[in-house]
Structure 1
Amino acid sequence: MRSEPMGLRESKKQETRQSISAHATRLFIEQGFESTTIAEIAAAARVAKKTVTNYFPRKEDLALDHHEEFVTSLAQAVADRDPGESALDSLRRAFDGAVQDQDPVAGFAGPDFSRMIADSPTLTARVRDLHDQREEALAQALAAATGADPGDIVPRAAAAQLGAAHRVLFQRIQELTLAGCDNARIAVHVAADAARVFGLLEPSLAHYATRAE
């Protein structure tokens, strides 16, 4: 018997993953994250419990299924910076693009999803952990970009400032969402907020980790 092409197998896996995540999110919103069980998610998605945990080892990842993209986003922006562009400018450009696109990874997740996170101590703690992981990934990217010696504290210090800026702006998006603002209105507010927040970092980081022309 001929095996299925890898592309088809991967496509089916992705469909299964998306189905599980969609059913899980619906149940989390309807019932609350803490009250929803893996068994209920498996039944809704018509898969075995083991299938759910194979795709999502942590229950939190069923709700925050873009966590890997979130964690790597700042480091990737620095890695992709243009010649003559500093880390600060690349991150500001990437954030402005995310606001323009109203990207869920940047926080534009809608009121139901945002309330689900706010109402769950477990998810709230997980989001904090993901912010910490994102900052650490950024520190590593900055160290690589500047050729810093192992143990050099400067990339960590810069990442702490840049990560904090993104954390504050993420929280701002969540606050406005929960206050009843739609995404278009939030984007206008946050674009102005971002200009002020990133502006505060210019005196110390305007030229840090600038890529050679």
Structure 2
Amino acid sequence: MTKLLLATRNAKKLVELQRILDHALGRHAIELVGLGDVPEYPEAPETGLTFGENALLKAREGVKYTGLPTVADDSGLAVDALSGMPGVFSARWAGRHGDDKANLELVLAQISDLPDENRGAAFVCAAALVLPGGKEHLVDGRQAGRLIRGPRGEGGFGYDPIFVAEDQTRTNAELTPEEKDAISHRGKAFRALAKVIAKTLLAA
């Protein structure tokens, strides 16, 4: 089995990518491990100004310190009325990295006076694969939609409870994992990356 590092400590993201890879490549084709499964190494800060820059930075670090082919993604919410922000700052919009509730509440507060027709937003994801030999691949995915006025649903993570995708009536957090994978920004990016993984890691 081919071992692949996903440079994240987010357990839900690991489960999500493993599910997508299993569906695209067949179960047990790839053994996905996270940062908690490899010896700890110094993680570089996400200093890129784009999702792609940050994804490549994290993937390169993973290869450098573990020698494993490494996938990393950077994703976030781009709100039309906030000129595309929080963008690359989505995970730390309220000041502390990974505080989903505070981040979500701050975004809602910032657009609280906007009518429903002006609450457009999109989830954006860039996913990178870096190989020990130095080859790099970068793909992206986008999910357009709108923000509602309060959280709904228990699934997903991040801003999922306040985001309703185009042609949907339920939030991302109300969708089943399979429904979300089919339309989400990360699902689109990771499915594109699965094709690259199949050609570069599983071709033999």
TM-score by length of 1: 0.27
By relative contact order (CA 8 Å, sep 6+), the higher-ranking structure is 1
**Structure ranking higher in strand proportion:** 2
**Structure ranking higher in helix proportion:** 1
TM-score by length of 2: 0.28
